[in-house]
Amino acid sequence: MTDTGILEAWIDGAYRPATTDCFETLNPATGEILAQVRIAGGAEVEAAVAAARRGFAVWSAMTGAERGRILTRAAQLLRARNDELARLETLDTGKPIQETEAIDIHSGADCLEYFGGLAASLTGEHIDLGSAFAYTRREPLGICAGIGAWNYPMQIACWKAAPALACGNAMIFKPAELTPLTAVKLAEVFAEAGMPPGVFNVVQGFAETGQLLTRHPGIAKVSLTGEVGTGIKVMTDAAASLKHVTLELGGKSPLIVFDDAEVDRAISGAMLGNFYSAGEVCSNGTRVFVQRKLLDSFLERLVERTRRMVIGDPLDPATQVGALIGEEHLQKVLGYIERGKAEGADAVIGGKRVTEGALGQGAFVEPTVFANCRDDMSVVREEIFGPVMSVLAFDEEEEVIERANATPYGLAAGVFTRDLARAHRTVAHLQAGTCWINNYNITPIEMPFGGVKLSGIGRENGKAAIEHYSQLKSVYVELGEVECPY
């Protein structure tokens, strides 16, 4: 933020005032304006690329250990600002403060620590060739663009920045237009931790700003978190200069409950996988398949527990369900709920906007469970990105696997059973990038995360992410005589 009160881009280690138009970012729980944010245009993106080029020269010349120390220091600084940043994230996203305080900022810091720790041990390999040998050098790609979705602003920024920077790349990050407030705070933290100017830059704006990045010939890689349609556009634009891409896209994941499952544990998984963050989580298990024998008792207890959930002011520590990201998205979610009812699903709980009291000013919708669903219903096929769970009955293991896979998406899946052989057999057949057994939506930084099919390309987190932010150079070294036929 500068003296003008406008949130400017962060370029070359400082806020960079510009004269382009601004947009307003709103608090989705109240509709109030939180800040005026500058839209980065061509000049700002060019300045960011030039700064990133200079930053890259300095950063990539440092040792991995030096880079790792700065990332680790940044993690500590991020944790020290947890209260302030969690509050800002809650204001911008509408998520309950109990989530942002406990998880969102800390998981960003976990990621900086993890990749900070790995930075010193990024290696190539030695290849013995008899009278010669070869080795590979693991080198950075150059300037990476990170483009974020609005549901986990700080976490997404860290998931992209940490592996990219650990590998020696520079980054230009564009947060989603709906949640632009915290990415620049990460930039402040990096600067305080001693990161050279230009290594991490932030430009805010709309899709056009994102396109300026994905089409820029000076950028080597784009990592996007967003919708499938956006992923296709980004990959198409990136193809013109053969950029590397990581795409973390949408999902419609299955959560399968066999009749020998621990019922309360399975219900916890289904609630976490549908109502956490008001259902605005890409990997949610929104198609809950329950084996027929268990169906009635599962539904009864699920409804009872859902009824107890506390919907409220996101800043109230007791609140478990906050606001959706905004009015437009709320209308989309309500539209799906109406389509579900029209197609014959039974809303056994929820199904309405919250209109009472102060919450009526914001984008609040009740956690909703649809029973008696069929696979062909739109609520079962399409990503809703709201607190809407569809429960479907099944009879046989083979049948449920086939139905679970009958989707163009492949982000995640869950299996609840006490039979471990069945659990492992089932996940082996599920078309999903991440599977959980007897839990749901747990994403430790050490574990690779990403999708198959239309849910994406590449992996974030874990050592696997390193592959996506570095490239190998092979070096052949002759030790013997050189015979030349000419």
Q: Which residues bind ligand NDP (CB under 6 A)?
A: 147-151, 174, 176-177, 206-207, 210-211, 214, 224-227, 230, 233-234, 248-251, 282, 383, 385, 411, 451, 456
How far is Cα of residue 248 from the mean position of the Cα atoms in its chain? 7
Q: Is 262 a catalytic residue?
A: no
Q: Which residue, 291 or 431, has its beta carbon nearer to ligand NDP?
A: 431
Q: Which residue, 151 or 417, has its beta carbon nearer to ligand NDP?
A: 151
d(CA 202, CA 139): 24
Q: Which residue, 198 or 451, has its beta carbon nearer to ligand NDP?
A: 451
Q: In what order do the strands lie in the sheet with 33-38?
A: 6-7, 33-38, 22-26
Report CA-CA distances (Å) from 266 to 258, 379, 460.
9, 21, 27
Q: Rounded to 5 degrees, what are φ and ψ at 117?
A: -70, -35
Q: What is the number of the residue whose Cβ is closest to ligand NDP?
A: 210
Using DSSP, how many helices (H) and how many strands (E) does the chain show? 16, 21
On whether the CB atoms of residues 225 and 161 are closer than 8 A, the answer is no
Nearest approach in angstroms of CB 37 to ligand NDP is 11
Nearest approach in angstroms of CB 70 to ligand NDP is 26
Q: Rounded to 5 degrees, what are φ and ψ at 201?
A: -125, 155
Nearest approach in angstroms of CB 213 to ligand NDP is 7
On whether the CB atoms of residues 459 and 468 are closer than 8 A, the answer is yes
Report CA-CA distances (Å) from 379 to 344, 387, 413.
11, 12, 17
Output the six-digit token pair for 415. 């299996």
Q: Which residue, 59 or 469, has its beta carbon nearer to ligand NDP?
A: 469
Q: Which residue, 138 or 252, has its beta carbon nearer to ligand NDP?
A: 252
Nearest approach in angstroms of CB 242 to ligand NDP is 17
How many CB atoms neighbour CB 374 within 10 A? 13
How many CB atoms neighbour CB 476 within 10 A? 10
Q: Which residue, 167 or 324, has its beta carbon nearer to ligand NDP?
A: 324
Q: Which of 8, 44, 101, 248 is catalytic?
A: 248
Nearest approach in angstroms of CB 384 to ligand NDP is 10
Nearest approach in angstroms of CB 149 to ligand NDP is 3
d(CA 327, CA 333): 10
Instruction: Tell me the catalytic residues.
Output: 248
